[in-house]
């Protein structure tokens, strides 16, 4: 489960941010997660709970904002929606696509006190 290593990496960023700001507690974390990323939201949420147990972020609200997938179709010469990796262009049914959005994962916000 690579979500565990993703959660550990996120916690390192969260902990460093909290430390730099002399925080006593992390109240919430908001993460943007593209639908084309290889991370499963439920598994990531579970991993976050496990990783933060006994830490400054234990019990923090963990919200995932799903970002839609988009790709540049080289045949149509335009951006098209892409619901999943390996799907064809919805207009020309071609597979000459370059992902432009939806494979990212980033911490959007951290609420600390």
CA distances, 30 to each of 60, 69, 70, 99 (Å): 10, 19, 22, 23
Question: Who wins on pLDDT, 103 or 1?
Answer: 103
Count of structural domains within the chain: 1
What is residue 54's predicted lDDT score, i.e. its pLDDT? 98
Residues present in the chain in total = 113
Q: Is the pLDDT of residue 87 over 70?
A: yes
Q: Does residue 1 have a pLDDT over 70?
A: no
Assign 49 a pLDDT band (cuts: 50, 70, 90). Answer: very high
CA–CA separation, 78 and 67 (whole Å):
19
Question: Phi and psi for 65 in degrees, rounded to 5?
Answer: -100, 120
Instruction: Specify whether the CB–CB gap between 104 and 34 falls below 8 A.
Output: yes
User: What pLDDT does residue 77 have?
Assistant: 98
* Structure confidence at residue 31 (pLDDT): 98
55: domain CATH number is: 3.30.2320.80
Per-residue pLDDT, 57: 98
Give the domain extent around 85: 2-112
Phi, psi of 12 (to 5 degrees): -60, -40
Q: In the beta sheet, which residues pair with residue 99?
A: 71
Quote the pTM value. Answer: 0.88
């Amino acid at each position: 489960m690579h979500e565990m290593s993703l959660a550990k990496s996120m916690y390192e960023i969260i902990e460093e941010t909290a430390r730099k700001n002399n925080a006593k507690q992390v109240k919430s974390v908001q993460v943007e997660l593209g639908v084309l990323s290889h991370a499963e939201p439920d598994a990531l949420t579970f991993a976050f709970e496990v990783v933060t147990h006994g830490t400054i972020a234990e019990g923090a609200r963990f919200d995932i904002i799903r970002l839609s997938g988009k790709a540049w179709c080289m045949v149509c010469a335009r951006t098209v929606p892409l619901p999943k990796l390996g799907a064809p262009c919805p207009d020309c049914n071609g597979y000459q696509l370059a992902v432009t959005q939806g494979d990212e994962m980033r911490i959007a916000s951290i609420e600390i006190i």
